[in-house]
Each structure stands twice: as C-alpha cells, then as structure tokens.
C-alpha cells in the first residue's frame, strides 16, 4: 500500500470531488481515479460512492479515512525525526490576511523552494476543530481565543479601523474617535462565525467606555462594505488588513483616536511532534516586535 494512494484518498474525501482533489494535488484527474480504484482493489472494499452529481464516503470509507490520516501523520513524523523538513502545510485562514500570507509563504519558500501551502478558509470554531483533528497544521485567528488542546501563540498586532459610509458625516476626516460614532448603529462581527474577533471588538469598546446601539452582525467583508456603504448612520470596526483589499469607494476606513488594535494568533496542536517545523512556520507570520 502506497502513502501516495492514501494521500489521494484523503484529498478526495475532503473535497468530495475528483476534479477539485486533482487540482489540489496538481495532477490530472484520471491519475487520482486510478489510484483510488487501485486502493479499493487492494483493500477489497468500496471507499467512495460515485455518481454524476456527487461523491460520498461509504461506511468503510469513513473508517479508512481516519486510519489513513493517522498513517500519513505518522509518516510525516518519521520524516521530521529523520531531519527532513516538512514540504507541505495546511493553514486555516481568514479574510483580509492576503498580505501576511504572501509574506509568510515567500519566507518559507526562501528556506525551502519546494515548500507547498494549502490554504483553507473556515469559520473560527471549525478552523480550530480541524487543527485538533489533524486536518490542518495550523490556524490563524484574530482576537483572544480559548482553545483547549492547542498551542496559542501571539504573532502580530493589527489596528482596527472605523468603517463608515462615504456619506457619513465623519467620512472626510483623517481620523475619528469612538465618541464621534457612538450615536450611530454599530455592526459587530458575527460571533457565530468569528467569536474571537467579536470579543476583541467588544473588549476594545468596553475599555473605551463606549456603548453604541447595535445592529445586525456583519457578514463577509464584501457584504459589510455594501450594507454600511448604503447606510450613513451605521458603522463597523474591522481589522485594517481585512478592509484594505475591499477596493471600493462606498466606504471609508478611518484610523481611530486613540488607536485600537487586535492581536493575531497562530494556533497549532499542543502535542505536535514536529514542533521545530511548527516553530519555523509560526515565525514567518510574526511581527518583528511580537516575540
């Protein structure tokens, strides 16, 4: 049984789509299908139910998936123990981290030109659960997070910006205070999707002694830009990098007086046997002053 076949199977099981799995693996789709078929023949069971519209795991497939992940993880630990640097990392990420990810990946590839990164965008709770299950090697999160079983490493500090409609009374200023906005409706990050960022914003408001009226939680950055841009009596607090790439004239992202910021964290499995590699990967996402 080849590790390659197990990796192909795990990738198909995660994507539930042969085409997307092939794209992730950077090979042609027939090669994926052939390896899965060979693995099924070798094991004597059907791992996947295929139809023109869907791919689903069989009961046997679900059992084999768990074992395959353990086997691949063990093989990676053997390579690490032998001194071979890990060549692939799966990173759970969030909106507005493009610049930091690009810098980090470039730094990693300077050390190892064959280094490969797979980025996965998930809500924070699912992101952390995926790290615990070994489906992600690390996750990036903004704001304080309680994560039993994970190492939580502070990595960067990011200023918050007051996002207001271009028609808001404060839109033409160079900066704004929270008191200037306290009569308008604040759109907080949705706690169900990003509890850590939600809690970071709430803490910042509490420290500033400001309690504005609250509106509906924000959705994606795109939706927030459209909705706040359409309402000159609402506003949002978002990390600077998250709003920087919106590319719109509908809103203004104003610095705050005094400054408010949110801490970014890198989370990894607490019992990760490849700690030296993890520390290397974590280091490239840190700000120089974060330690």
Q: Is residue 213 part of a domain?
A: yes
Q: Is residue 186 part of a domain?
A: yes
pLDDT digits (tens, 9 = 90+) for 209-257: 888 899 999 888 888 889 999 999 999 988 888 887 667 788 999 999 9
Q: Is residue 289 part of a domain?
A: no
User: CA-CA distance, 191 to 201, in Å (whole number)?
Assistant: 11
pLDDT digits (tens, 9 = 90+) for 53-79: 788 999 999 999 989 888 887 776 666
Same domain, 167 and 250: yes
End-to-end alpha carbon distance in the chain:
44
Considering 11-15, 143-147, 168-172, 200-204, the range whose residues carry the highest mean pLDDT is 168-172
Return the CATH number at 172: 3.40.190.10
Q: Is residue 256 part of a domain?
A: yes
Q: Is residue 221 part of a domain?
A: yes
Return the CATH number at 1: 1.10.10.10
How many domains does the structure of the chain reveal? 2
Domain boundary residue, one of 30, 54, 84 = 84
Domain boundary residue, one of 24, 54, 84 = 84
User: CA-CA distance, 161 to 83, in Å (whole number)?
Assistant: 44
Write down the pLDDT at residue 279: 64
Structure tokens at 161: 């910006």
Domain boundary residue, one of 54, 84, 114 = 84
Q: Is residue 276 part of a domain?
A: no
State the average pLDDT for the chain. 83
Nearest to 286 by CA among 177, 172, 153, 165: 153
Same domain, 163 and 256: yes
Write down the pLDDT at residue 37: 92
Q: How many CB atoms lie within 10 A of CB 219?
A: 14
Domain span at residue 183 reads 159-260
Q: Is residue 109 part of a domain?
A: no
Q: Is residue 249 part of a domain?
A: yes
Q: CA separation (Å) from 37 to 58, 61, 70, 173, 209? A: 14, 13, 21, 63, 62
pLDDT digits (tens, 9 = 90+) for 151-202: 888 888 889 999 999 999 999 999 999 888 989 999 998 888 888 888 888 8
């Amino acid at each position: 049984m080849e590790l390659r076949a197990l990796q192909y199977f795990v990738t198909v099981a995660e994507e539930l789509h042969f085409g997307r799995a092939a794209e992730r693996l950077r090979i042609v789709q027939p090669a994926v299908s052939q390896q899965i078929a060979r693995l099924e023949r070798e094991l004597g069971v059907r791992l996947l139910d295929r139809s023109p519209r869907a791919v689903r795991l069989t009961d046997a497939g679900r059992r084999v998936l768990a074992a395959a992940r353990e086997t691949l993880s063990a093989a990676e630990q053997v390579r690490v123990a032998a001194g071979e640097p890990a060549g692939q990392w799966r990173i759970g990420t969030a909106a507005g981290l493009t610049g930091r990810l690009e810098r980090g990946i470039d730094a990693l590839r300077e050390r190892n030109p064959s280094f490969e990164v797979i980025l996965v965008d998930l809500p924070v709770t699912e992101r952390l659960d995926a790290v615990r299950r070994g489906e992600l090697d690390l996750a990036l999160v903004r704001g304080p997070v309680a994560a039993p079983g994970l190492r939580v490493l502070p990595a960067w500090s990011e200023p918050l910006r007051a996002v207001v409609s271009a028609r808001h009374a404060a839109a033409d200023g160079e900066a704004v205070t929270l008191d200037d906005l306290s009569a308008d409706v604040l759109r907080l990050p949705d706690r169900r999707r990003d509890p850590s960022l939600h809690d970071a914003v709430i803490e910042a408001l509490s420290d500033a002694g400001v309690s504005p009226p609250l509106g509906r939680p924000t959705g994606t950055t795109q939706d927030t830009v459209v909705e706040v841009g359409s309402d000159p009596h609402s506003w949002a607090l978002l990390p600077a990098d998250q709003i920087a790439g919106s590319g719109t004239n509908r809103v203004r992202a104003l610095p705050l007086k005094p400054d408010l910021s949110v801490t970014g964290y890198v989370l990894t499995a607490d019992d990760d046997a490849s700690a030296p590699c993890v520390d290397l990967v974590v280091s490239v996402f840190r700000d120089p002053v974060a330690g």
